[in-house]
Chains A and B, each alone.
Chain A
């Protein structure tokens, strides 16, 4: 499998366990085999912390079908008062101080499959893999590349959510997709249900956690035995499966530890049990709002340091409020200057604003959660009507612990690769990235104008 990301060789860091590992005895003192996953015992951590000690986090926000570049790109460049928001970005006014708009970059992959090529290019830095006759990502998407580097210390390496019923585009590799949680209540139960502990509470004392790990040991044994009998492609599939089992086992072990002592961590409000479509239209805003609050708390409670949140998939024909047809349909068939498409972009930016504000509403030390984040918002095309991969929409929010400038419109005039933005984001997160992308999109340079 390919990876768009090249890293510096690992530097040996002094290992300091950031949390006390407590393996509570099992009732009855039985010799249940508890295989400690290597993640818990090895000094593989290199997640960078902000200067004030808080962990750095990454969030990916995606939506389908692009924007209207003529009304998206702010007219002035620069920082602070030097620039103002464009028509399409007006809904982000309240978060402008925390926002960076990057314009003029091109997604440099062969644009062969409408939406599909740009999606793979923007999210994995690689051309869409069509080698089997079926479209898939050639390598991991950026959320998973980053999660592999900074997601190892938390209960979940990443949390993936979507405000509509989508498949999402988080990939571990070809044909291996991470499905998002699309139902707010399921997400709540998962993150803040029976196993959730607020700061100050003790870890779970629950003998079934150990028993569940024993069951997973048996499963891992079966995977290993089966792995010896299958072909090379199946071996890769089983490795991916095994990786998931290991992650679950690690999580079950960590539930026995005391929860991190983070002041701002609290159980968010319980969402509705269901969000049925209203008049044939999905309740995108309502779902987005509760998911934004849950994601903010998942970060504040250090349950994860990486999230991906999707409003709609590429080619989505979602019926947005007030729209006379599906989104994708409109991008191609609405005439004139496409007022309905414009209105939908505004609605999507409103969702992004809600997410950013939810992160900013959580205090962390003298700063906010958002200050310890970088949220990257992208779509798979720019102008939906022509599936253009030039003038790609890229927004960043949060300074990532002061590593990135904010309140900035940064414009590239040389049609440079969008991968430069990815590289800057990864470096801001402390990931020792040497390069990102391939072929025309290959880059060893970030965007220096972004970096503090």
Chain B
């Protein structure tokens, strides 16, 4: 057990270079690029972008159009959903909230308005400020026509208000409400060979949102302007720079927040009269535990990502340590710890983010836990129950004290068994953890039997289930497919499958190191290929 938070210790260590896919893999297969679509910034991307530009002290807008999920990911939902009238209203309020802070007297204004206005209206100075802000917010330089509109708007407002900076806040607010800020406009265009591709600024934006989940920084925009992203060496140099940057941690955290739906932990609903450890802190703490673990495997350890299912190493605060029944590794905040070697809990399946989130408010749910494993970890689509059947299970009784007896009908009635034999046995393997994730060996006085098998691999308890998941052939394929889906904002179809397999081959050759996968995808031809609109 270590006494210091790990990130502080490791900050002194030289970064390991990003692993490359060895040359034994064949050439990239034929690829049919999907049609490009606008992607609305997720609320996380919007916040990240604003924080990058205007710093941590900026009061961020909190009331924004909610993100929608599609194919299990918000980044896919962002490619299909629109902006509602209420959303327009919220984005307008958000725009002025930000613009007024930036244009208030102080350091932010000094940074972003690089000139002294000569009068209340000063179109030259306004143009300079708006061009600088615009390039960052719209992730490309503004056209002259665009700048003219914004300068005129700002000057009119300045005259009306009798205040140059007040006027400028209207130009900035218009920029923040523009579709060029609110959507990722990555449409592709024909290159010299007549191939439709994402180039320069569009490619910079694609790279940046994929690896950092935020807008490009000045260095990336400069590289785009200089045409460096169109050379192999220039592109790789940027990707390696980005993966070595701290924002890559934010990118990986946001990626796994989406994959595991960790944002749902903010609204974790548990009845505190049933779960004495329940508090408002449990959800946020559980989210942080899972993300610190992913971050450690990805960056510090550069380990096989499958360790996520079997590792004893985790990061706990007092809230979670109390639920896990282990000593808190630090008085305040999170610290690294090794779960007991002879303990019942290891890896993602032993975390509250899995056990608590995929359960009911007052009890476990073998079906929900099983669904999480099947759908999210193994990418196996499970049909919904038919709408017109009674899915109820009997209440606990002397004959059926534990969940294993209670869900027997799910597993024997032919109307249920088709799907429930896929999900419920997995959930039964986790039944030694109650609805919030506390370990237990009995339910209603009877011993819980957590044994089972996962697609041919038998296990006796949750540890064995985690081990079976580690070696399941879908586990790595699913992660690769999900990362691809996240990067593209689109569920891959037939013309893309071979490319996803090719990325999987690379992932396997690099022993499942996530940074290698991110680098491989970001530097691929496919990532730059744009379909017909």
Contact = CB atoms under 8 A, between A and B. Distances in A.
Interface of A: 26-28, 30-32, 111-115, 117-118, 132-134, 157, 160, 165, 167, 172, 175-179, 181, 186, 190, 207-208, 210-212, 214-216, 218-219, 221-223, 226, 229-231, 233-234, 236-238, 240-241, 243-245, 247-248, 277, 279-281, 317-319, 324-326, 329, 332-333, 335, 385-389
28 contacts: A111-B388, A113-B384, A114-B386, A118-B387, A179-B86, A207-B161, A212-B92, A214-B157, A215-B153, A215-B170, A216-B92, A218-B153, A219-B179, A241-B83, A244-B84, A244-B88, A280-B272, A280-B361, A281-B271, A319-B271, A324-B271, A325-B362, A326-B362, A332-B390, A332-B393, A333-B395, A385-B390, A389-B387
Contact of A280 (B80, B278, B387, B388): B278
A325 B392 CA distance: 14
Contacts of A387: 387-388
Contact of A231 (B96, B160, B280, B533): B533
B149 interface: yes
B286 interface: no
Contacts of A214: 153, 156-157, 170
B361 A326 contact: yes
A236 B81 CA distance: 10
Contacts of B362: 324-326, 329
Contacts of B81: 175-177, 237
B174 interface: yes
Contacts of B88: 241, 244-245, 247-248
A177 B38 contact: no
Contacts of A237: 38, 80-83
B270 interface: yes
Contacts of B187: 229-230
Given A215-B153, A219-B174, A319-B271, A238 B160 contact: no
Contacts, number: 200
B31 interface: no
A222 B180 contact: yes
A228 B300 CA distance: 47
Interface residues of B, number: 69
What 10 A-B pairs are tightest by C-beta distance, nearest first? Answer: A244-B88, A244-B85, A215-B174, A111-B387, A240-B82, A237-B82, A241-B83, A176-B82, A218-B174, A114-B387
Contact of A157 (B80, B85, B161): B85
Q: Looking at chain B's contact residues, is the secondary structure mostly helix, strand, loop, or mixed?
A: loop
B384 A279 contact: no
A231 B37 contact: yes
A248 B361 contact: no
B153 to A, nearest CB: 5
Contacts of A165: 267
A207 B156 CA distance: 11
B384 A114 contact: yes
B172 to A, nearest CB: 9
Contact of B156 (A30, A212, A230): A30
Contacts of A30: 156, 159-160
Nearest to A179: B66
Given A186-B63, A230-B187, A325-B363, A26 B160 contact: yes
Nearest to A110: B387
B389 interface: yes
B394 interface: yes
B161 to A, nearest CB: 7
Contacts of A172: 82, 84
Given A28-B160, A176-B81, A234 B37 contact: yes
B84 A176 contact: yes
Contacts of B82: 172, 175-176, 236-238, 240-241
Given A218-B153, A332-B392, A177 B384 contact: no
A190 B384 CA distance: 39
B70 interface: yes
A5 B154 CA distance: 44
Nearest to B491: A133
Contacts of A117: 387
Nearest to A218: B174
B269 to A, nearest CB: 6
Given A114-B384, A231-B35, A28 B159 contact: yes
B501 interface: no
Given A134-B80, A178-B84, A387-B388, A241 B179 contact: yes
A237 B146 CA distance: 22
B385 interface: yes
B109 interface: no
Interface in B51-72: 63, 65-66, 68, 70-71
A219 B80 contact: no
Given A28-B160, A165-B267, A241-B88, 8 more contacts: A112-B387, A117-B387, A177-B84, A211-B156, A236-B82, A240-B83, A325-B362, A386-B389
Contacts of B89: 190, 244, 248
Contact of B179 (A212, A226, A231, A385): A226
Contacts of A234: 37-38
B87 interface: yes
Given A326-B360, A333-B395, A175 B180 contact: no
Contacts of A27: 160
Contacts of A247: 85, 88
B66 A326 contact: no
B492 to A, nearest CB: 12
Given A177-B68, A238-B179, A280-B271, A335 B395 contact: yes
B508 interface: no
Nearest to B38: A234
Nearest to A33: B156
B177 interface: yes
Contacts of B185: 226
B400 to A, nearest CB: 12
B530 to A, nearest CB: 12
Contact of B84 (A112, A179, A317): A179
A177 B80 CA distance: 11
Nearest to A245: B88
Nearest to A237: B82
B38 to A, nearest CB: 5
Most chain A beta-carbon neighbours within 10 Å: one of B177, B278, B386: B177
